[in-house]
Amino acid sequence: MHVVLSIGGSAINPKGEPDLDFLKSMAQIIKKSKNKFGILTGGGSLARVHARAARALGASEYEADAIAITSTRQNAQLMIAALTAAGVKTLNRVVADFEDAKEPAKENKAAVMGGTIPGITTDTDAVLLAEAIGAERLVNISNVEAIYDSDPRHNPGAKRFKKLTYDELNKLAAESDKRTAGTHFVFDMLACKLIARSKIESHFVSGKNRKDMENAIEGKKHSGTVVKS
Ligand code: UTP
């Protein structure tokens, strides 16, 4: 079966630089699994720095997004390098759109994408990829261990969820969307709506917890959050 991994830029370059140990360990996890993978990499701080610089030079939001997309694709290329070094069969280029992902996802152990069009985020890309290649499971890997009812970095009393339904997830995402800038929900609203419409079982785990990542990929119990019917 196919599993889509949505790997946040916060996990790939947590301190503004690529975390090579993380990339190598992701490649090993993928190698060990019997599943096939569609992988979507985020841009994190790399994307933010470039988008901010573009805006400071007078670029439009569309152009700032386009530049940020190139950062997500740089991270995708690093993921490909890590997979290749680990001996995992993958296409040696970043897949540019969902239609083009279908064949490589069948023929390889992993097909890797970055962002696609301005105006969305790689969370949404990840779910669209899952729909396109018929993945039954999605694993979101970021710098938070689970889904909370508010940002645990700003609110130490935030409630942590082990399990949510699609409706509950959408309610949380909508509430969080109304809050002021600076606190952003673990998965964007459009992405939440898309996993609900296709009923894709989704797991939210931290990139710092290898065991959780491995268990989530296999659909086993972990300390993060599972979203399903
Ligand atoms: P991310 O998906 O990494 O955004 O894309 P994010 O929400 O900042 O992710 P994390 O969780 O903090 O890592 C980075 C930026 O790239 C552009 C958007 O500007 C987005 O904020 N982007 C990405 C697009 O315009 N289209 C895409 O398909 C993907």
Q: How is 99-139 classified by DSSP, letter by letter?
A: HHHHHHHHHSSEEEE---STTS-HHHHHHHHHHHHT-SEEE
In which element (H, E) is residue 145 found? none
33 pairs with which residues across the strands? none
Q: How far is the CA of 122 from the centre of ligand 1 (A)?
A: 5
Tell me what the mean pLDDT of segment 58-72 comes to.
97
Q: Give every CB contact of residue 118 below 8 A, 6+ residues apart in sequence.
A: 61, 62, 65, 66, 69
Query: Radius of gyration of the chain from Cα atoms?
Result: 16
Residue 158 CB burial class (10 angstroms; 0-12, 13-18, ≥19): middle
pLDDT tens digits, one per residue of 86-119: 999 999 999 999 999 999 999 999 999 999 999 9
May I ask the CATH class of domain 2-227? alpha beta
- Ranges of H-type helices in 34-114: 44-56, 61-85, 98-107
Residue with CA at minimum distance from ligand 1 atom 25: 118
Task: Give the model's confidence band at 7: pLDDT under 50 very low, under 70 low, under 90 confident, else very high.
Answer: very high
Classify the phi-psi angles of 39: left when phi > 0, otherwise alpha if psi is within -120 to 50, otherwise beta. Answer: beta
Question: What was the pLDDT predicted at 183?
Answer: 52
Residues with CB under 6 A from ligand 1: 8-10, 42-44, 47, 51, 65, 68-69, 72, 115-123, 125, 142
Q: How far apart are CA 120 and CA 40, in angstroms?
A: 13
183 or 223: which leads in pLDDT: 223
The pLDDT of residue 227 is 98
In DSSP terms, which residues pair with 38 in a beta bridge? 4, 111
**Average pLDDT of the segment spanning 211-217:** 98
Contact 82, 28 (CB under 8 A): no
- What's the pLDDT score for residue 181? 46
Q: Which atom of ligand 1 is nearest to the CA of 10?
A: 13
In this predicted structure, what is the pLDDT of residue 197?
98
Average pLDDT, the chain: 94
pLDDT at 189 over 60: yes
CA of 100 to the centre of ligand 1 (A): 20
Which pLDDT band, with edges at 50, 70 and 90, does 29 fall under? very high
> What is the domain partition of the chain in residue ranges?
2-227
**SS3 state of residue 71:** helix
pLDDT per residue as tens digits for the range 128-187: 999 999 999 999 999 999 999 988 888 889 999 999 999 999 999 988 776 544 457 889
Contact 141, 205 (CB under 8 A): yes
Ligand 1 atom 8: the closest Cα is on which residue? 44
Q: What's the whole-model pTM score?
A: 0.95
How much distance in Å is there from the Cα of 63 to the middle of ligand 1? Answer: 13
